Amino acid sequence: AQSVTQLDSQVPVFEEAPVELRCNYSSSVSVYLFWYVQYPNQGLQLLLKYLSGSTLVESINGFEAEFNKSQTSFHLRKPSVHISDTAEYFCAVSKTGGATNKLIFGTGTLLAVQP
Amino acid sequence: DVKVTQSSRYLVKRTGEKVFLECVQDMDHENMFWYRQDPGLGLRLIYFSYDVKMKEKGDIPEGYSVSREKKERFSLILESASTNQTSMYLCASTEAPGQGLYEQYFGPGTRLTVT
């Protein structure tokens, strides 16, 4: 079975500062990795994903995440955050070759960007 | 663009009522999912469906049932609502594995309050 750990429930940061949201996973099989973002009063939107190939993946709004197989991590980073990045961020995994693309989610990290 | 819609954004029901939450997707996806989201617990899978009339229990199916009579529609049913079912309910859909789409698309959510 797979599991996902997001140790930080909340990360406060000042505008234009760098940020890292941590995600570690546990799995005995190969996985796909995802970061979703949830803005206030909205559903989840895919931010970025790792399926295969380059271990560094990027989103269109400046976030990036690096798949580290040896450390079983998929941390999310942004070099300079904006107020508009305030949201809850969820890390998720699914088993490669699974029957349903079922996702296992972490408990989420609230990124609170302050002016 | 994939669109997943949910019948209500906010719903208030009384204890013991039968509650129906509806979800419709417009991308001909085989797989559909119902999650509940609670603070500090992330998203937990209630039920999922991998085809019309096919369903499987997720991690927390107790007190819920589902119905999928048509490919585009997946309903979540609370047979007798209880206060501990007050939560945000999120619906998602995705293709069957092997078709190139691995991420799930989410609806905007229904915030259900049971009084």
3-state SS, residue A17: coil
* Residue B40 amino acid letter: G
A50–chain B nearest CA distance, Å: 10
The pLDDT of A23-31, averaged and rounded, is: 90
What per-residue confidence (pLDDT) applies to B36? 96
What per-residue confidence (pLDDT) applies to A46? 94
pLDDT at A97 over 80: no
Give per-residue pLDDT as tens, B29-80: 999 999 999 988 999 999 999 889 899 999 999 999 999 999 999 999 999 9
Name chain B contacts of A99, Cβ cutoff 8 Å.
50, 97
Identify the bridge partners of residue A73 per DSSP, sorted by sequence position: A24, A68
- Which residue does chain A place closest to B91, by CA atoms? A43
Query: Cβ(B8)–Cβ(B76) under 8 Å?
Result: no
